[in-house]
């Protein structure tokens, strides 16, 4: 048994039935526990989760989920885990993760989650900083990877392994879930205790601490309460009109706040969540025919490339025809948006100007209409590759590239562009079913105040770019044990400074224009602190300055300012007999490949870097960064200014 320890359906686990023991109804859903019990009570027979182990499919009902959560909570308490204890959960997407999360939540323990690719030194920092007393780890192999640290860590009172055989021995504090759940019996008294402990939770109780990359290279612990998450759990389902008839295909790691909140929201409405993976995503779209998908831009890039490649294999004529149909659909839909006022508006237009543009757009629609009907019929084949029932495709965890958004829209799939961050649990704004203004991320989530301000903190009118600030029930109380970051992150009147740049439309929708803060988000949704990598790169004597790039790209690149004399010495030492002038030296492919290889050698996991923190490309700039242009008065790099100035170079580097 591995995951079966949680979700076996072969035999009854208990001498009583959950449905026989009447569950209460909580009119006020202020905590995740209340929402969980209410959902189980209402949707007991519905499938909550579907997942596969090898070739075998498993379906877990809402009542079975409740049972698994109850049993694991009982086992955790028996091993000493209590209310207020911080538990690091090191795991990727799997059914056992959500059961672990809900079990810890049910009696007030605090989940401190991280992915399986976390380097040992980062794991060590988080366990120490968060004062974790317990560790839940995904597999025995992952435990072995961190064994030296785990054996030496005196503050861990217990270690629990999700997947693996029984492993507890006398005097050992390591238990597999098979050890914990060997006895799956429980009584009515156990249910009463479970409910009683959950009912003692308060909305302001701390639910989780999620560590994100900091601007100094030190991870920051975002504190989120039940109330923070419950705000989005209440609001998100209505934004996307979620119902129990929906089926949600999931591929993101459950510990990622975007995925985690999406799963909570789905459970609140009796929706079925199907766990997939990047590898199986395309085939699972056709197999399970979901109505909703929530994922990051990288996955849409992958699907786009897959479709393009499949068409290309049919020949050059088929590719040209397909691209022509996409162009027709894009043009028709773009003009339709102009007619229906579904494009961002930043200032009032005269009636004459407005209607003359609509007449032009309407004329173009009339010309394109016969071609559009033909194109839409043919593009239906692409929609079938998404299962044929997909009503909404939700994109978050990074900005969706314009060409991808247009392509998805052209093939007839409704895209919901969302904006959020861990500190906001994560939803800040979303272009839901009631907002059709293309090119925006929609209005703020209900109950959220959003403003765009100048560098002096003055609120700006629509159309003017500035820093995005947010205030609402979903916003974190602050970073754990980090007063300095808390002072920098909140305004005097309580608004959270997101570090992103944007502008508002006259109708109150938000348009994201860039990032003022340091963190880079890849199209896969991974958050990267550039300062650590930049500092590592400037260790090379021939690098005078470096700036990491890759926002919304598949991988990272670096713009480098060289020290020419040192670079010549490096090349002479590494590539004997290689002689070229300065301009040739800076652009020679062989030289660049050698330097990139050496740089990636120091960006390895053993030194605390993650696998996705390697460089795909590098380029030398021929001008230094200047004070007042790319540099602030205190010589800090204006990342968003540099990215704008060199955006064409960056696109070519990371295409």
Q: Percent of the chain scored above 70 by pLDDT?
A: 94
pLDDT digits (tens, 9 = 90+) for 384-417: 888 889 999 998 877 777 778 889 999 999 988 8
What's 475-501 look like in SS3? CCCEECCCHHHHHHHECCCCCEEEEEE
Average pLDDT, the chain: 89
Residues 441 and 573 in one domain: no
Residues 94 and 187 in one domain: yes
Residue 260 to residue 266: CA distance in whole angstroms: 10
Q: Which residue has the higher pLDDT, 535 or 100?
A: 100
Q: Could you tell me the end-to-end alpha-carbon distance of the chain, in angstroms, rounded to an integer?
A: 45
Residues 419 and 542 in one domain: no
We report the CATH number of the domain holding residue 194 as: 3.40.50.980
Band the pLDDT of 297: cuts 50, 70, 90.
Answer: confident
Q: Which residue has the higher pLDDT, 518 or 4?
A: 518
Which of 488, 518, 548 is the endpoint of a domain?
A: 518
User: Taking the complete model, does pTM exceed 0.75, yes or no?
Assistant: yes
Q: Is the pLDDT of residue 370 over 60?
A: yes
Question: What average pLDDT does this structure show over 200-229?
Answer: 87
> In terms of residue numbers, what domain contains 89?
67-201
We report the CATH number of the domain holding residue 465 as: 2.30.38.10
Which of 518, 540, 556 is the endpoint of a domain?
A: 518
Q: Is the pLDDT of residue 641 over 50?
A: yes
Find where tokens 């409740």 sit.
66
Residue 285 to residue 306: CA distance in whole angstroms: 13
Which of 201, 220, 251 is the endpoint of a domain?
A: 201
Q: What is the pLDDT of residue 132?
A: 97
Q: Is the pLDDT of residue 271 over 60?
A: yes
Residues 334 and 477 in one domain: yes
Residues 577 and 596 in one domain: yes
| Cα 599 from chain centre | 27
H/E stretch holding 558 reads strand 556-562
pLDDT digits (tens, 9 = 90+) for 104-134: 999 999 999 998 888 899 899 999 999 999 9
User: Of 394-398, 436-440, 498-502, which range is least confident?
Assistant: 394-398
Residue 68 to residue 4: CA distance in whole angstroms: 11
**Which tokens sit at 447?**
């109950």
How many structural domains is the chain composed of?
A: 3
Q: Which residue, 474, 441, 500, 49, is CA-closest to 247?
A: 49
Q: Is the pLDDT of residue 633 over 60?
A: no
Residues 622 and 535 in one domain: yes
Residue 342 to residue 72: CA distance in whole angstroms: 49
Residues 301 and 436 in one domain: yes
Contacts of 15 (CB under 8 A, 6+ apart): 185, 187
Residue 358 to residue 370: CA distance in whole angstroms: 20
| Cα 61 from chain centre | 26
The answer to whether position 239 is within a domain reads: no
**Which tokens sit at 44?**
């007991």
**Which tokens sit at 526?**
């991974």
Q: HSE-up of 197 (CA within 13 Å, CB side)? A: 20
What's 429-469 look like in SS3? EECCCCCCCCCCCCCECCCEEEEEECCCCCECCCCCCEEEE
Residues 591 and 464 in one domain: no
Count of positions (residues) in the chain: 655
CA distances to 90, 235, 421, 458, 534 from 499, rounded to whole Å, are 28, 24, 10, 15, 19
pLDDT digits (tens, 9 = 90+) for 134-177: 999 999 999 999 999 999 999 999 999 999 887 777 778 899 99
Which DSSP letter does residue 23 get? P
440 with 484: CB under 8 angstroms? no
Q: Is the pLDDT of residue 13 over 80?
A: no
Residue 213 to residue 192: CA distance in whole angstroms: 41
């Amino acid at each position: 048994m591995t995951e079966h320890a949680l979700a076996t359906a072969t035999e009854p686990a208990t001498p009583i039935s959950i449905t026989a023991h009447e569950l209460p109804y909580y009119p006020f859903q202020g905590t995740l526990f209340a929402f969980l019990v209410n959902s189980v009570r209402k949707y007991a027979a519905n499938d909550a989760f579907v997942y596969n182990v090898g070739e075998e499919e498993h379906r877990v009902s809402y009542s079975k989920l409740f049972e698994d959560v109850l049993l694991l909570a009982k086992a955790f308490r028996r091993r000493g885990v209590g209310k207020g204890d911080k538990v690091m959960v090191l795991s990727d997407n799997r059914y056992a993760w959500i059961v672990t999360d809900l079990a810890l939540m049910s009696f007030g323990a605090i989940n401190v989650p991280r992915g399986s690719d976390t380097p040992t030194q980062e794991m060590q920092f988080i366990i120490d900083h968060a004062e974790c007393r317990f560790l839940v780890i995904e597999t025995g192999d992952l435990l072995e990877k961190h064994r030296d640290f785990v054996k030496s860590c005196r503050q861990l009172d217990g270690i629990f392994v999700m997947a693996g055989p029984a492993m507890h021995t006398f005097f050992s504090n390591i238990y597999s879930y098979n050890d914990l759940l060997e006895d799956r019996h429980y009584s009515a008294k156990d249910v009463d205790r479970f409910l009683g402990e959950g009912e003692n939770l308060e909305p302001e109780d701390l639910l989780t601490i999620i560590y994100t990359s900091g601007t100094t290279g030190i991870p920051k612990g975002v504190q989120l309460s039940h109330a923070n998450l419950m705000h989005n759990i209440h609001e998100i389902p209505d934004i996307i009109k979620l119902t129990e008839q929906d089926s949600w295909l999931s591929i993101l790691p459950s510990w990622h706040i975007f995925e985690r909140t999406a799963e909570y929201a789905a459970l609140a409405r009796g929706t079925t969540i199907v766990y997939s993976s990047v590898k199986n995503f395309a085939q699972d779209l056709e197999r399970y025919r979901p109505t909703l998908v929530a994922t990051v831009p990288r996955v849409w890039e992958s699907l786009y490339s897959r479709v393009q490649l499949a068409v290309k294999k049919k020949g050059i004529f088929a590719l040209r025809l397909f691209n022509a149909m996409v162009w027709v659909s894009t043009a028709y839909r773009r003009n339709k948006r102009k007619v229906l006022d579904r494009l961002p508006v930043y200032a009032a237009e005269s009636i004459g100007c407005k209607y003359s543009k609509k007449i032009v757009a309407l004329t173009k629609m009339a010309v394109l209409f016969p071609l559009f009907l033909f194109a839409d019929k043919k593009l239906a084949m692409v929609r079938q590759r998404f299962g044929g029932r997909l009503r909404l495709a939700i994109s978050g965890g990074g900005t969706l590239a314009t060409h991808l958004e247009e392509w998805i829209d052209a093939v007839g799939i409704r895209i919901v562009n969302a904006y959020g961050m861990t500190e906001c649990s994560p939803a800040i704004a979303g272009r839901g079913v009631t907002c059709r203004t293309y090119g925006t991320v929609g209005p703020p989530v209900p109950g959220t105040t959003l403003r765009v301000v100048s560098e002096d903190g003055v609120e700006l009118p629509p159309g003017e770019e500035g820093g995005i600030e947010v205030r609402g029930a979903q916003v974190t109380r602050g970073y754990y044990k980090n007063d300095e970051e808390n002072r920098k992150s909140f305004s005097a009147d309580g608004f959270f400074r997101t570090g992103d740049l944007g502008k508002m439309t006259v109708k109150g929708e938000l348009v994201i224009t860039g990032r003022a803060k340091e963190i880079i988000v890849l199209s896969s949704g991974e958050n990267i602190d550039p300062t650590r990598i930049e500092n590592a790169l400037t260790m090379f004597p021939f690098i005078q300055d470096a700036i990491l790039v890759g926002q919304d790209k598949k991988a990272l690149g670096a713009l480098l300012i060289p020290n020419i004399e040192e670079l010549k010495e490096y090349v002479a030492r590494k590539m004997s007999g290689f002689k070229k002038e300065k301009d040739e030296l800076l652009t020679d492919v062989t030289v660049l490949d050698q330097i990139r290889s050496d740089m990636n050698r120091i960006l390895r996991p053993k030194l605390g870097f993650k696998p996705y923190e390697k460089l795909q490309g590098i380029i030398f700039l021929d001008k230094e960064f200047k004070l007042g242009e790319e540099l602030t008065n205190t010589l800090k790099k204006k990342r968003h200014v540099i990215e704008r100035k060199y955006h064409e170079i960056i696109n070519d580097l990371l295409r």
